[in-house]
Amino acid sequence: MRDTEFYTKLLGITSPWDVSLVELDTEKEEVQIWIRYGSGQACCPECGKAYPIYDHRKPRRWRHLDTCQMKTWLVCSIPRVSCPEHGVITMATPWAKPQSRTTRMFDRLAIDMLKAFKKQTKLARLLRISFDQMHHIMHQLVTFDILMQKIN
């Protein structure tokens, strides 16, 4: 099995998303997983209607769960669509919330560990992320919990 196919399966991403390149930097102890979108159409994240790809944003990185001892990053040039109603807009990705610098799986791990440890600063150091990133993940959880309380 090729490394790209291996990571596509590990990440659980499906067509038209797939892994196009896996880079290993042993000096920095990092793995970079490049994800591409293999369709000429994408959905507007606001209205859900499909439009042709307008362009791609410059590559962006999200911190993901480690690969062994290596910090692991997902990298993608996310497509944008031109929606008549919402303008030129970046499509949503299945691995992260909009504006987030960490993946949903990383957020889940951070929250589970925070519930167990309850020390933001120590946990940020353990996860090798900044205090600001830890705070952002927590803020998202609190917002989500408030939203769920209003729904239920």
Binding site for Zn ion (CB under 5 A): 44, 46-47, 83, 85-86
Cα three-residue angle 22-28-34, rounded to 5 degrees: 20
Separation between Cα atoms, residue 99 and residue 101, nearest integer Å:
7
Going by C-alpha positions, the residue among 99, 91, 89 that lies closest to residue 143 is: 99
Which residue's Cβ has the minimum distance to Zn ion?
44
Separation between Cα atoms, residue 68 and residue 29, nearest integer Å:
10
Nearest distance in Å: CB 61, Zn ion? 26
**Choice between 4 and 45, CB closer to Zn ion:** 45
Nearest distance in Å: CB 140, Zn ion? 24
What residues are paired with 105 via a beta bridge?
Answer: none
**Choice between 16 and 87, CB closer to Zn ion:** 87
Nearest distance in Å: CB 98, Zn ion? 14
Nearest distance in Å: CB 83, Zn ion? 3
**Choice between 86 and 101, CB closer to Zn ion:** 86
Separation between Cα atoms, residue 3 and residue 23, nearest integer Å:
10
